[in-house]
Chains A and B, each alone.
Chain A
Amino acid sequence: MNNSKVAHLENRAKQLRRKILKLIHKAGSGHPGGSLSATDLLTALYFGDILQYDSKDPHKPGRDRFLLSKGHASALLYCTLAEAGYFPEEDLADYRKINSKLFLSGHPHPKTPGVEIASGSLGQGLSVAHGIALGIRNEFPSARVYVVMGDGELQEGQVWEAAMSAAKFKSTNLIAIVDNNKVAQDNLTKDLKDIEPLEDKWRAFGWETLRIDGHDMSQIMDALQKPVGKEKPRVIIADTIKGKGVSFMEGQTAWHGVAPNDEKLEAALKELA
Chain B
Amino acid sequence: MVDGATRDGYGAGLVELGTSNPNVVVLDSGVSDSTRSKKFGDKFPDRFFNMGISEGDMVCTAAGLAQAGKIPFATSFACFLLGRSMDQTLVSVAYSNTNVKLVGTHSGLAVGEDGPSAQMIVDIAYTRAIPNMTVIQPADWEEARQATIALANYKGPAYMRLGRSNVKGIYDPKTYKFEIGKASVIKQGSDAVVFATGSMVEETMKALEQLGTEMNVTVVNVSTLKPLDEATIIDQVGKNKIVITAEDHNRIGGLGDAVCEVLMNHQICKPFKRIAVNDTFAETGSASELYEKYGLSANHIVRALREVKA
A169:B88 contact, CB within 8 angstroms: no
- CB-CB contacts of A152-180 with B at 8 A, as 1s and 0s? 00000010011011001100000000000
Quote the shortest CB–CB distance from A60 to chain B (angstroms). 12
Q: Does A119 count as interface, using CB distance less than 8 angstroms?
A: yes
Q: Does A124 count as interface, using CB distance less than 8 angstroms?
A: yes
Interface size class of A (residues with CB under 8 A): 20 to 34
A127–B87 Cα distance when bound, in Å, is: 13
Quote the shortest CB–CB distance from B75 to chain A (angstroms). 15
- Which of B65, B87, B91 is within 8 Å of A134, CB to CB? B65
B95:A118 contact, CB within 8 angstroms: yes
Central interface residue in B25, B59, B63, B87, by most chain A CB within 10 Å:
B63
A124–B100 Cα distance when bound, in Å, is: 15
A169–B70 Cα distance when bound, in Å, is: 17
**Residue in chain A with minimal CB distance to B68:** A135
A162–B60 Cα distance when bound, in Å, is: 9
B68:A136 contact, CB within 8 angstroms: yes
A127:B95 contact, CB within 8 angstroms: no
8 Å CB interface, B48-79 against A: 49, 51-52, 54, 56-70, 72
Quote the shortest CB–CB distance from A143 to chain B (angstroms). 10
**Residue in chain B with minimal CB distance to A135:** B68
- CB-CB contacts of B84-111 with A at 8 A, as 1s and 0s? 0001101110011110000000000000
Across the interface, which residues of A come within 8 angstroms of B25, CB to CB?
Answer: 135
**Residue in chain B with minimal CB distance to A127:** B60
Quote the shortest CB–CB distance from B188 to chain A (angstroms). 45
Q: Does A116 count as interface, using CB distance less than 8 angstroms?
A: yes
Across the interface, which residues of B come within 8 angstroms of A158, CB to CB?
Answer: 54, 56-57, 60, 88
A131:B96 contact, CB within 8 angstroms: no
- CB-CB contacts of A127-151 with B at 8 A, as 1s and 0s? 1111111111010000000000000
- CB-CB contacts of B278-307 with A at 8 A, as 1s and 0s? 000000000000000000000000000000
Known A131-B63, A132-B67; 18 more pairs at CB < 8 Å: A116-B67, A118-B92, A119-B91, A121-B88, A123-B56, A124-B91, A127-B58, A131-B60, A131-B67, A132-B68, A133-B64, A134-B64, A135-B69, A158-B60, A161-B51, A161-B56, A164-B54, A165-B52
Give 27 pairs: A residue, B residue, CB < 8 Å, sorted on A.
A109-B96, A110-B97, A117-B92, A117-B98, A118-B91, A118-B96, A121-B87, A124-B88, A127-B56, A127-B61, A128-B60, A128-B64, A128-B92, A131-B60, A131-B61, A131-B62, A131-B63, A131-B66, A131-B68, A134-B49, A134-B65, A135-B65, A135-B66, A136-B68, A161-B51, A162-B57, A165-B51
Interface residues of B (CB under 8 A from A): 25, 46, 49, 51-52, 54, 56-70, 72, 87-88, 90-92, 95-98
